Amino acid sequence: MDRASVEETILAVIDCMRASNHCFSKCLQEEDLLMVAECIRLTKECSEVCALALNALETDSAFTKPIAALCAQVCDTCAVECGRHLHDHCQRCSEACLRCAEACRNLVAA
Amino acid sequence: MDRASVEETILAVIDCMRASNHCFSKCLQEEDLLMVAECIRLTKECSEVCALALNALETDSAFTKPIAALCAQVCDTCAVECGRHLHDHCQRCSEACLRCAEACRNLVAA
Amino acid sequence: MDRASVEETILAVIDCMRASNHCFSKCLQEEDLLMVAECIRLTKECSEVCALALNALETDSAFTKPIAALCAQVCDTCAVECGRHLHDHCQRCSEACLRCAEACRNLVAA
Amino acid sequence: MDRASVEETILAVIDCMRASNHCFSKCLQEEDLLMVAECIRLTKECSEVCALALNALETDSAFTKPIAALCAQVCDTCAVECGRHLHDHCQRCSEACLRCAEACRNLVAA
């Protein structure tokens, strides 16, 4: 893994972790909570997996690839769920998740 | 800090972390989500602070006391919020939070 | 996944998380640090993955199986590394890692 | 807390979390491990507290101030320890910790 692609992945993971946490918090303030219940669950799990991926990427972990693969999987699911809602925070989270998933998959394939 | 009281605190923190995560998940399946929205937010934060406290206690961290004090503060708030709801998972979480807060405060005072 | 095997896995993960954190802290106090450098790195990563697995197991996460598979992989590597050292904390960590890896793999296969 | 100062703090915390994890990993590859043993311990604890602070800041947590105060305390200690070593990664970590501690204290005082 070259340093440039690791750095690019780190930035995508940070952006996704931030967007997920923000979406989690904003969803909890929505009126129609039933509609975003799955979003609340997935954004928190997404931010937790991103935090683990960040540690792995930053420390040259031997498990960077399997952790990145898991991160891509969670991000993909979160992107689909958030993408179903029109709230700004959901749409932004969905986009950040897609970019993060793509960056992680590129790293795994490298 | 003697080893016996550290061990007692660790067990209370583990129990609280488990009860908080369980309550978080079960609250997200409740019909009246608006009523438990604050519970969902607090149980997740509680489990995150418990995880940090667990690491500190298990590694003889120099910051065990300030971390335990923070843990007690979050647990107290979570215990009050969960205690307002009659769901089994909320009541059990409230009790686990109270025991954890007390154990953490005892450790800080020791 | 039946509740009994989930509960059994949770207990194995908690034990492994505790043993890993303890081994991390004790290794940092050893005289021959060079010998345990890889152990220090792996025990911390092991405790981080165990924390993620614990959250997944306790919240009936949709990603419990891939997370458990990752946890088994990290635990296996940590068990081999810790198993090479005669310190009590390394030996105990190695055993806890093996039990955790086995419990996680059983869950994945279920 | 105005959004601009929260955003400024978030960026300082992210930078500190990254520098701490990087320093942790690089210290484990140093020849004189005994000299950096305390650094290894503190950088990992620093990155863990930064991760918690990040979650709190991004989710408008009711505990943002006590968590930021704890983060400043851990960062200060880590900055002093890393500042004692001439390795590039230690010096950069020390500076990132100082900036993070200052940003956190400003937020607490706001």
Q: What is the mean pLDDT of residues B92-98?
A: 98
Query: Which has the closest alpha carbon to A22: A73, A84, A91, A83?
Result: A91
In this complex, do B41 and D63 lie within 8 Å of one another by their Cβ atoms?
A: no
Partner-chain residue, chosen from C28, C41, C44, that has the shortest CB–CB distance to D37: C28
d(CA B15, CA C16): 16
pLDDT of residue D20: 98
Coil/strand/helix, residue C69? helix
Say which DSSP state D87 is in: S
pLDDT digits (tens, 9 = 90+) for C22-74: 999 999 999 999 999 999 999 999 999 999 999 999 999 999 999 999 999 99
Contact B70 D63 (CB under 8 A): yes
Calculate mean pLDDT across residues D46-71. 98
**d(Cα C71, Cα C92) in Å, to the nearest integer?**
18
As given in the structure block, the two tokens for residue D40 are 């290894």
A14 contact residues in D (CB cutoff 8 A): 14
* C51 → closest Cβ in B51, B59, B60: B51
* Average confidence score pLDDT of chain D: 97
CA distance B105 to B69: 6
- CB pairs A-D closer than 8 Å: 32
In 10 A of CB C24, how many CB atoms? 27
pLDDT tens-digit series, residues B11-29: 999 999 999 999 999 999 9
Residue A101 vs residues A1, A10, A106, C36, C83: alpha-carbon distances, Å? 17, 12, 9, 35, 35
Across the interface, whether the CB atoms of B28 and A40 are under 8 A apart is answered yes
Give the distance from CA B94 to its chain's centroid: 8
Q: Which residue has the tokens 């989270």?
A: A93
ipTM above 0.90 for this complex:
yes
Q: Which residues of D touch A17 (CB under 8 A)?
A: 54
Touching B (3+ Cβ pairs <8 A), the chains are: A, C, D
A3-45 pLDDT, tens digit each = 889 999 999 999 999 999 999 999 999 999 999 999 999 999 9
A84 three-state secondary structure: coil
Mutual orientation of helices A64-83 and C64-83 as an angle, nearest 10°? 160
Question: Chain-wide mean pLDDT for chain B?
Answer: 97
Sorting pLDDT into bands at 50, 70 and 90, what band is A1?
confident
Interface of D with B (CB under 8 A): 41, 45, 48-49, 52, 55-56, 59, 61-63, 66-67, 70, 73-74, 77
- The secondary structure of residue C90, as a DSSP letter, is H
> A55 and C48: CB-CB below 8 Å?
yes
Strands (E) located in A7-90: none
Nearest to C41 among D28, D31, D41 (CB): D28
**DSSP assignments along B72-94, one per residue:** HHHHHHHHHHHHT--SHHHHHHH
Return the pLDDT at A37.
98
Q: Closest Cα partner for B11 from C108, C63, B3, D59? A: B3
Domains along the sequence of chain C with CATH: 3-109 (1.20.1270.360)
- Which candidate from D28, D31, D34 shows the least CB-CB separation from C40? D28
Q: How many CB atoms lie within 10 A of CB D51?
A: 26
**Could you tell me the CA-to-CA distances from B37 to A58, A91, B26, B28, B92 in Å, in that order?**
34, 21, 12, 9, 17
Q: How many CB pairs under 8 A join B and C?
A: 32
Amino acid at B109: A
What integer pLDDT is reported at residue C75 of this predicted model?
Answer: 98
Residue D1 pLDDT exceeds 80: no
pLDDT at residue B103 tops 90: yes
Contact between D59 and A10 using a beta-carbon 8 Å cutoff: no
* Residues C67, C61 contacting (CB under 8 angstroms): yes
Mean pLDDT across D23-44: 97
The pLDDT confidence band at residue C1, using thresholds 50, 70 and 90, is confident
Look at residue B1 in the predicted model and tell me its pLDDT.
Answer: 76
Q: What are φ and ψ of residue B62, in 5° steps? A: -70, -15
The span from the CA of D43 to the CA of B34, in Å, is: 40
Whole-angstrom CA distances from B44 to A25, B67, D106 are 11, 17, 26
Residue C63: name the closest of A45, D100, D93, D98 by CA.
A45
User: Across the interface, do D63 and B56 touch by the CB < 8 Å criterion?
Assistant: no
Q: What is the mean pLDDT of residues D4-16?
A: 96
